[in-house]
Structures are given as C-alpha cells and as structure tokens.
Amino acid sequence: MIEFSLNGKKITSDAEADTPLLWVIRDEFGLKGTKFGCGIAMCGACTVHFNGSPVRSCSLPIGAIANAEIRTIEGLENQHPLQKAWVEHQVPQCGYCQSGQIMQAAGLLATNANPSEEEIEAYMSGNLCRCMTYARIKDAIKDVATQSDAVVQIYNPKLESEQTQGVS
C-alpha cells in the first residue's frame, strides 16, 4: 500500500508498486485530465507535478512516490494564470496534449518567472503537440511571464510547496 498526496489530499493505493502513476491517477482515482500518449516519457501528455516539478507519470512507478505531493491539471482548479492565457490565446485544437502542456509550462514558470524564447523552447520541446499548436503555446507562456509580479510570487520556488504548485 502506498500513501501519497493527490491535489492536496492524502490518499492510499493498493496498486502494484510497478504500476505507472498515470493509471493510478486516471483509473483508480478517476482524474482523467492527465492523458496517455506514448508511455515512454517522450510526449508529455501525462505530465503532473511531483513535489512541484513536472514529471511524466506514465514512467513513474507508484512505488517511487511514497509520501510525495502529486498535483494534476485538476489540482490547478482553473485558477492558474496559464489556464486563462490558454483560453485567451485559443491554444487547444484537439486538446489532448494540453493538460500536459499546461503542467509543463507551470513547471517552467515556477522556476523561471521570465523565461527567454530559447528557454521556453528548450523547456517545452519534450511535450509533443500533434495538432502543432506550438506558436500559441509559446505566446500564451510569454504572456503570463510578462504579467505582474504577483505571478512571480506564486511561482517563487523558495516558498512552501503548497504555493509553488501555482494554486493560490
């Protein structure tokens, strides 16, 4: 039995220790916003936050996450500035990759409040978008990054983990 926190709630799972976190989140706890794309950590559709940092849940066995804090797209509770920017910039097409894109981008802004164009590209290139919405993803991230200090505050990695998740 493994205990960890999912979107701020302590939970336990009886799944086999080698089961990827992705399937536990989706099928045991019913949070379907995190998606399955490749299963080999190369598309980013399954990205969640592990103690505040983006990880590929398809390749993270739950045996390795005991007592960790896991946050999924649902855990952003529609409050993250990136989510608003995603709507403003009309980013999603099919939308399937976008939970992962947003979680990855949130990870970027949590450690780098004002990334350069190259830094955005380098950080986001592990996330495939088959609909090729890259130009809009980039614009939306830039938009949030150039907003007020408040955003920087939320993403200050030195603050307690609760806040670094980007949920105010």
Residues lying near another protein in the complex (CB under 8 A): 15-16, 19-20, 23, 26-27, 30-40, 42-43, 45, 72-74, 76, 78, 83, 86-87, 90-99, 102, 120-122, 124-138
Q: Is the Cα torsion angle 75, 80, 82, 83 positive or negative in sign?
A: positive
Tokens of 121: 């590209």
Task: Please tell me what DSSP assigns to residue 20.
Answer: B
Residue with tokens 């986001």: 124
139 binds ligand FES (CB under 6 A): no
98 binds ligand FES (CB under 6 A): yes
Q: Is the Cα torsion angle 28, 33, 37, 39 positive or negative in sign?
A: negative
31 binds ligand FES (CB under 6 A): no
Of the pair 64, 159, the CB lying nearest another protein is at 64
Of the pair 94, 150, the CB lying nearest ligand FES is at 94
**Is the Cβ–Cβ distance between 107 and 86 less than 8 Å?**
no
Residues that bind ligand FES (CB under 6 A): 36-39, 41-46, 56, 58, 92-98, 129-131, 133
